[in-house]
Structure 1
């Protein structure tokens, strides 16, 4: 019976019957109420689907917009990452969170959630337990963000551009940024996805820097995993912008169809992410790492929202 509910959720999300927020809600209900028969498989599949869905969403993007938004958001992203890492280090010290654990939570908040943790885990020599706790913290907060951010944005009457920028700067994972922005509007989705992917690129220098520092210190480091899917997203945007197919009879609707497939893939991704939040995951996270993650996330979200409302951050 548990397996049937799992596959039913995937089918409903893939068929478009579940919007991204509903898909996440269904996944959370499954993870918290039903024993998960495919926990590890779901985690691996969700990572692949997220990357594939982001690439497909690129077929609905204009390259000029991608470059403009990415360039405008670069300085804000760099400043936000630096502030989040510094504040995360301070909170970790104050709450007595283990050093590697604290860094992974801070990096996940600052850069790109689970992707950053997955990339930095091997080069920081993190244990499986530290990785699990960091991932659990980020996934729980991501789930909350997908519901909270659109409600806050509507209450404050944020424009779609403002909301897309805020989501990209304040929500951990790309999946939740895209899900929240898609619920808010098409412009919010375009802005949020582009700025978020520009933010995710910071995984590369951060990971290489940590690996180099560890090598200089004589510590054994693992393999570096880089977010190559971002380059495929840009390639898809290039194709959509400069290789139009509307005059090719057999391929006129190809790009819109691929972009829609990406949105459906995102809904499946969010269902799978939701199923990974189990009662055991919540217990394993523990009080202090979770408190660090919550405080750091609230601070990052609050500061970026204040700066956007004041016009300090804008596109």
Structure 2
């Protein structure tokens, strides 16, 4: 019972924040800024106050991690395999080019800025795959410094904040379809929470498509971590550095995003036809509200001043690579006719 009390205050706070964000968003013409974006921004504004009140900490952390993934898993009950496979197939084409851009461009920009390869690689991983999750997975593999991890997360996060606001506006201005926008957001926006916010700010259908694309993209974290493990070992040998016997070995079990499997299980259940349309719509509403809660929680744990103090070079690096990925994703879609 005591454990539940430890989490309750933070959970209630994120529920209230989500309700407030949804209420505020209804007053915005054409829903240009969604409840998810408002929850994120309100959370960041409240961070200086809330971070000093420790009773909220456990619940906020729980919502930012577990509730977001639970919301995505539940969303599987609103989709069929035919939708997932069609969107996932297109995303693989676009994703091939965006990953090449993130890592190839990241390497060149890193050399141009004379940045250490570990920091440059972390920014590329965050931009190309899935934001902070990819950075967290790659960092121990290449034995990155804590400062490099902080800089990389800051560089990708600031761009994500801008994209959550600007992507839906740009998508409407360009007259993009729901599928086209979902592909664009899912392949070009970094963190999963930001993809959710940007996708659903455009439309419910675009949000669903964006999440499918993002989950497909997240799976690339496994081979990428393995590749960087090899690169780091070769770099250590080149520099004459002995392998640290206590260095944690790469474990597929530790880095594999298992919630994606649960998402696919829910899609399989939906594909059987046993979930009625009304129930599916209700689940979709619950799923979206959980995501708004999670984005509010992420905002509550983010101090914008600390993020903005991370230095100029990593921010420029992240901005350049993220911009290139956005352009490449849009251009590839023009050629495959999915805009």
TM-score, length basis structure 1: 0.87
8 Å CA contact retained: 1:59, 1:256 = no
Q: What are the superposed Cα offsets for residues 220-255 of structure 1, whole Å, 9 maximum, x if unpaired?
A: 345542211111111111111115143xxxxx8554
8 Å CA contact retained: 2:77, 2:275 = no
8 Å CA contact retained: 1:56, 1:258 = yes
Aligned to 2:40: 24
Aligned to 2:83: 65
Q: Structure 1 pair 139/7, CA: closer, same or farther in 2 (3 Å)?
A: farther
Q: CA offset at residue 260 of structure 1?
A: 2.3
8 Å CA contact retained: 1:14, 1:265 = no
Aligned to 2:263: 233
Q: What are the superposed Cα offsets for residues 101-155 of structure 1, whole Å, 9 maximum, x if unpaired?
A: 1111111101111111121122121222222222222222211111110011111
Q: Structure 1 pair 5/26, CA: closer, same or farther in 2 (3 Å)?
A: farther
Taking the aligned partners of 1:283 and 1:112, their CA distance within structure 2 comes to: 20
Aligned to 1:288: 313
Structure 1 stretches lacking a partner, 5+ long:
247-251
2:288 corresponds, among 235, 257, 263, to 263
Taking the aligned partners of 1:221 and 1:99, their CA distance within structure 2 comes to: 20
- Asked if residue 11 in structure 1 is aligned to residue 16 in structure 2, the reply is yes
Taking the aligned partners of 1:88 and 1:67, their CA distance within structure 2 comes to: 30
- Asked if residue 36 in structure 1 is aligned to residue 66 in structure 2, the reply is no
Aligned to 1:242: 272
Aligned to 1:154: 172
8 Å CA contact retained: 1:136, 1:277 = no
Q: CA offset at residue 13 of structure 1?
A: 0.8
- Asked if residue 305 in structure 1 is aligned to residue 330 in structure 2, the reply is yes
The more displaced of 156-165 and 211-220 is 211-220
Q: CA offset at residue 6 of structure 1?
A: 9.5
Taking the aligned partners of 2:80 and 2:200, their CA distance within structure 1 comes to: 16
Cα RMSD for the two superposed structures: 2.6
Q: What are the superposed Cα offsets for residues 273-294 of structure 1, whole Å, 9 maximum, x if unpaired?
A: 2223314422442111011001
- Asked if residue 208 in structure 1 is aligned to residue 226 in structure 2, the reply is yes
Aligned partner of residue 97 in structure 1, secondary structure:
coil
Equivalenced residue count is 305
Correspondence 1:83-162 to 2 at 5 A: 83-162=101-180
Taking the aligned partners of 1:49 and 1:138, their CA distance within structure 2 comes to: 22
TM-score, length basis structure 2: 0.81
